[in-house]
Amino acid sequence: MKNVLLLSIFLSFSPAAVFAADNAVLITLDGLRWQEVFSGLDRELAVHEEFSEQTKLLLERFWRDTPQERAETLLPFLHNTVFREGSFVGDRDAGSCAEVTNDWYFSYPGYSEILTGVVNDSIDSNGKNPNPEQTILELLDSKAEFAGKTAAFASWDVFPFVFNVERSGLYVNAFHPEVNPADEFEEMLTQLHKDIPTPWVTVRNDAFTHHYALSYLLREKPRLIFIGYGETDDFAHNGKYDDYILSAHRTDRFIEEVWETIQATDGYRDNTVLFVSVDHGRGEDPIETWQHHASKRSLSGYMRSLAQYEDGIVGSEAVWMAAIGPGISEKGLIMTGSQCIGSNRIAATLLELLGEDYRQINPNMGSPITEFLQ
């Protein structure tokens, strides 16, 4: 009796946050559709004259008999490790739904929602405007135990504004070569960065983002690191389905390398959560809308160039999420019915796993995704 009483007292005083992990890695792929994530290569797009020059290569490497086999062939690490040993959501064909909470369905509002947990309606463009909201990297950096222990790496040149580096003072390595390479490897990376043509005016090759991030991770041992890969979205906007697919496959390998590095490193091994998501989806019907993403509301503003699609790009609010590591449930696919899980809940989920109560940090955040937690 006494033990039961003690136990109930203990439970009633136990902290709300789970404190499952010392560290977290948050990874995003820009606009990689749930359709490819869960069904793999789209045959119609792979053989489409306008959208794929490398049809033969795509079919050889990524076409298989079933959607499950195709998905596993395209994204082997996500399927065979993260989905199998962790939790994931967003396979709409299977009754699992995730969506952005913002009203726009493009990048800045999507990333801000993921990183701050808050939907601020004034963030209505991809313009280089300093974020009025604070990311969890900035919020944690103000606590002694996280100070200087958060950092971000990204291919897109708008990220310094998403993180509001002027206010936050966070370390954000985005788009540009590193100004102060820390060692010989980073010097080489920086040299190549300057010598290899940049594929887009606002987005660099993800390989630079990836290798700068891994180098920093091993050297500085941050407790929360964000890696934003960008190529998938830009190849899609360019109408290059073959390059979009090859980039998705390559990014899956990058994510595997991040996880392998974590599991091979003292202080990170079995002590670090990996969370993966996207900032928006893309269209599906009519077929050419796979290239685009925009809400109906955005057509009268930032996305007016897509105004011929009167309802916006239907389906581009659809996203997916996956996580693996301590504190993450191993139940695999989370069934949601029509109750979609919103991207504004990712920030509080990570705070919870790191032992912080989001309500004390910013009560306006979406609540933690309890379905993902043990």
> In angstroms, what is the minimal distance from the CB of 347 to Zn ion?
18
Q: HEC states along the chain? A: CHHHHHHHHHHHHCCCCCCCCCEEEEEEECCCCHHHHHHCCCHHHHCCCCCCCCHHHHHHHHCCCCHHHHHHHHCHHHHHHHHHHCEEECCHHHCCCEECCCCCCCHHHHHHHHHHCCCCCCCCCCCCCCCCCCCHHHHHHCCHHHCCCEEEEECECCHHHHCCHHHHCCEEEECCCCCCCCCHHHHHHHHHHHHCCCCCCCECCHHHHHHHHHHHHHHHCCCEEEEEECHHHHHHHCCCHHHHHHHHHHHHHHHHHHHHHHHCCCCCCCCEEEEEEECCCCCCCCHHHHHCCCCCHHHHCCCHHHCCCCCCCCCCCEECEEEECCCECCCEECCCCCCCEEHHHHHHHHHHHCCCCHHHHCCCCCCCCHHHEC
> In angstroms, what is the minimal distance from the CB of 132 to Zn ion?
20
> In angstroms, what is the minimal distance from the CB of 320 to Zn ion?
14
Candidate segments 17-25, 104-112, 161-169, 266-274, binder of Zn ion by CB under 5 A? 104-112
Q: Which residue has the tokens 């913002």?
A: 102
Amino acid found at 100: V
> In angstroms, what is the minimal distance from the CB of 296 to Zn ion?
18
Candidate segments 38-46, 67-75, 227-235, 355-363, binder of Zn ion by CB under 5 A? 227-235
Comparing CB distances to Zn ion, the nearer of 229 and 275 is 229
Sign of the CA dihedral 90, 342, 78, 159? positive
Sign of the CA dihedral 251, 252, 253, 258? positive
Q: Are 97 and 89 in contact (CB under 8 A)?
A: yes
Candidate segments 90-98, 191-199, 231-239, 319-327, binder of Zn ion by CB under 5 A? 231-239
Interface with Zn ion includes 157 (CB under 5 A)?
A: no
Interface with Zn ion includes 107 (CB under 5 A)?
A: yes
Candidate segments 43-51, 100-108, 247-255, 296-304, binder of Zn ion by CB under 5 A? 100-108
> In angstroms, what is the minimal distance from the CB of 233 to Zn ion?
5
Comparing CB distances to Zn ion, the nearer of 32 and 369 is 32
Comparing CB distances to Zn ion, the nearer of 305 and 338 is 305
The site for Zn ion, by CB under 5 A, has a size of: 5
Considering only residues 25-54, where is the footprint of Zn ion by CB under 5 A? 30-31
Comparing CB distances to Zn ion, the nearer of 99 and 356 is 99
Interface with Zn ion includes 242 (CB under 5 A)?
A: no
Residue with CB nearest Zn ion? 107
Comparing CB distances to Zn ion, the nearer of 114 and 324 is 114
Binding mask 276-315 for Zn ion (x = CB under 5 A): ---x------------------------------------
Interface with Zn ion includes 233 (CB under 5 A)?
A: yes
Comparing CB distances to Zn ion, the nearer of 31 and 368 is 31
> In angstroms, what is the minimal distance from the CB of 156 to Zn ion?
8
Comparing CB distances to Zn ion, the nearer of 31 and 86 is 31
Comparing CB distances to Zn ion, the nearer of 31 and 222 is 31
Task: Please report, as ranges, the residues that interact with Zn ion according to CB under 5 A.
Answer: 30-31, 107, 233, 279
